Every structure is written in C-alpha cells, then in structure tokens.
Structure 1
C-alpha cells in the first residue's frame, strides 16, 4: 500500500476501531477473499464476508428501501420525462463506455458521474435527478466510485457476458420503458424487467443483457453500496480505489 492509503486507513481505524477494516485488509492479501463462486472469477476485487448472492430482493434491505420506493413511486413521471428527452434532447445521450468496451447500440444519459451529480441532466430528466440526489446521493447510499445513468439498449442490442470490478457495490435497475423480448441473465438465471419495478443484483457475478424487442429498452441504473458493507469499510474503499485510479492516471 502507498503511504496515502496507509494514512487513510490509520485515520479510519482511529475513528472506528482497530478491527474496523479487517475485511478490506484481507481483500488486499493474495487469496484473502477466500474461494470465489466460479461466475465471480472475472471480478478484480472481492470483499470477503459479503453474501455470495447474485440476485437480491430490492425490498429486503432496510437501508435501500427508501431509494427503491422513491424510484418506483416516481416511475410514471420519470418515464414521461425520459421519453421526451429521447425525442427532443438526443444530444444528451452518448455511447455507453463500459470499462471493457464502447457500444453505439447502448446509449446512456448520466445523472451521477465522477463523484457528483451531472447538473446538465437536471433539465432533461428533472424528476429522476431530484429523486436520485435526495434518496441516494445526499443519503450517501450511492457508491461515489461509480455512477447512475439511464441505460438504453437499442433493438437488437446485446451486452456480452462479463463481471464488473467488485462486489462491494450493488446494481439497482428501475425498469423505465421495457418492450417485449428483453432479458437479463445473472449467474445463469434469466429474468426480465417489469415497468415501474426495480431489480437488484450483485454484478461481480457474470451477467449479460439483450433487447430482442422492436423499440429501445431503458432502465435507470444506480450503483449503490452493498448493504452488508460498513461505514468504515466504505471510507477505506473510496480511499483505496481513488488512490489506485490516481496512480493509474485515471480521472
């Protein structure tokens, strides 16, 4: 570890106790996370002690209930504003740049990125912007290392099987506009979205998605802290990943 990371960890231990970062420290040891599920092997970081569960009930975690309820309640307005933005403000959307690839048939409208709300999106999708800020960002439930965006798969598009980087955040999908013929598969189990409802899954497990419908499929994606992580662990993980990105020359 660099001196910057060591100093950050020391400050967190001072605030929260000597054992508060034991799982993060184990994660950094070779093999420290223990055996992985075969469909998690593509992930870079596995924080030990988190339930190895691919699919989660979005209403089962008290910490996340307010986010889920607020998004689902606001769905009709969110959908109307999203469709208007798609028709009238297409320039606000961009090709999605996953850390593995870039896809022209996968469009994104960002609400939160690089640790802050994307204020330019407030005019295009004000309700989603407001709900996300109040219930996820201000409440510190969003993982600031990641993002939130409207994810639009064009007809015929597919997202190849892949694992995301780690298991200490978790991916929430609000189904905004879903045609027939769309599906998502996580750890070999295929489900579909139901408009106005959320799906929640651990994207350190291999997952893929496709739109075999005749119009775009849009979900609002939010990267939230895994509810089984602790406050000191979250502080340490932000310090760790931010320093690694700085050393690698990433923004």
Structure 2
C-alpha cells in the first residue's frame, strides 16, 4: 500500500471509525477472498456483499429512483438514441472493455473517467439529464466506471467473462431490443424487455448476444453496490485511482 493510500485510509478511519473500511482492507489482503465458483475470473471480491448474480432493480431504496426515472423516460431516450445513431454514428466508438475491443460492440459514453461526457449532452439529452440528476449528483454512480449506450450490432456476441470486482453493480435500461437477443449471468438466461431495467452483479460470469437483424441497444450504468457504505466507497475510489495511476492508466 502506498503512502497516499495509507494516509487516506487513516483519515477515513479517523472520521468514520476504526472498522469503517475493514472490508476494503480485507479485500486487499494476500490470497483469494471466498467467492462463488462463477466469480473466479473477477480480480477483486470485497467480502460481506450479497453474492447474488441477479437483483430486482426495485429492491433497493437507493437505486429505485434511478430505475423509475429511466423507465419512465424510455420513449424520449429511445427516440433521441435512434436519431443519434442515424445522423451522428461517428460519435459512437468501439467499446473498450478491459479484456477486449470489438468493432461490432459500439458505445456512446455519457459518463467516463469520473466525469460527465458533455459532448454527449446534445445527442442524448434526456438520458444525460437523468444520469446527471439521478446518478451522478447523488453519487450513486461508481466514478471508477461509466455510463454508456451499449449497441451490439447484428450477429455480435460478447464472450463469457467476469468483470473486475463485485462492489459495483450493472444496471441495464433496455432501449431498443430486436428479437433474438439475450444475456446470461451465472448460467441463468434472460431477455431484455424494452423500456425495463435489469440489474446484475457482473463479477459473476456473463455473456450476451444479438442474433437479430438490427442493432440492440441498452443504456448501461455502473452503480455502487447498495451493500457498500459511504466510507467504503471513498476508500475504494482512493485505492483504485492510485492503482490506475501506478499502472499508467490515469
């Protein structure tokens, strides 16, 4: 642990109590933390968080307002996304997952590298406003990650994989869903229902595909896992910001 991390952690413990970030510190200990077999590909497993692949989007009071507002705003979000795809497709880019980069997986970012992507406000104003007001300002979004429109082109498939950690959770608003699309998390297959949200823990192995004849688009939002506390979130941001800096990825 670097001096920057040690000093920041000490300050968090001083303000919030000696045990306030104990789970984060246990996560950092040498050796693998207990995990589900289908989380074996995840690098960081923070102990004490619910180990469920799928979550009810409405079960958490913290997240329900985000879900409700996105779903009620779906008609406008879909119209604006369709216009952007038809007229400004150059604003989309190959999605850069930490494991791969795919030309048949396109992204339009609304939030990235800890900030809103202002250039996208004119392309997707409704989604941009909802994410800003409901996720960014109340600090429900995980600033270590992102929010983007995820567009799988016809025939595209995302191979089975685990994401890096379990302390954030992935919300999907189904924006434009053709027939022949689906997602599997920890062996359980589901389909998106247009205008509705899915919520899952992407530290579990998951995959997705579009076997349809037109693009499939969801709005993806990386939110803090509701089981994490505010001191833990502060410590996690410090920790992974420093790790990325040391890796030259800041």
Q: What is the TM-score with the length of structure 1 in the denominator?
A: 0.99
Aligned equivalents of 1:22, 1:213: Cα separation in 2: 47
Aligned equivalents of 1:171, 1:110: Cα separation in 2: 15
Asked whether the 8 Å contact 1:170–1:202 carries over to 2, the reply is: yes
Local SS of the residue matching 2:52: coil
Local SS of the residue matching 1:130: helix
2:167 counterpart residue number: 168
* 1:248 Cα deviation after fit: 0.5
* 1:36 Cα deviation after fit: 1.1
Local SS of the residue matching 1:179: coil
Local SS of the residue matching 2:63: helix
Aligned equivalents of 2:8, 2:115: Cα separation in 1: 21
* 1:32 Cα deviation after fit: 6.1
Asked whether the 8 Å contact 1:105–1:153 carries over to 2, the reply is: yes
* 1:31 Cα deviation after fit: 3.2
Aligned equivalents of 1:152, 1:120: Cα separation in 2: 18
The runs of 5 or more residues in structure 1 that have no matched partner are: none
For the aligned residues, what is the CA RMSD? 0.6
Aligned equivalents of 1:136, 1:8: Cα separation in 2: 25
1:44 counterpart residue number: 43
Local SS of the residue matching 1:63: coil
Runs (4+) off by over 4 Å? none
2:81 counterpart residue number: 82
The runs of 5 or more residues in structure 2 that have no matched partner are: none
1:27 counterpart residue number: 27
Local SS of the residue matching 2:209: strand
1:18 counterpart residue number: 18
2:126 counterpart residue number: 127
Query: What are the residue-to-residue correspondences of 1:121-160 with 2, within 5 Å?
Result: 121-160=120-159
2:5 counterpart residue number: 5
Local SS of the residue matching 2:62: helix
Aligned equivalents of 1:231, 1:210: Cα separation in 2: 35
2:248 counterpart residue number: 249
Asked whether the 8 Å contact 1:163–1:204 carries over to 2, the reply is: yes
Q: What is the TM-score with the length of structure 2 in the denominator?
A: 0.99
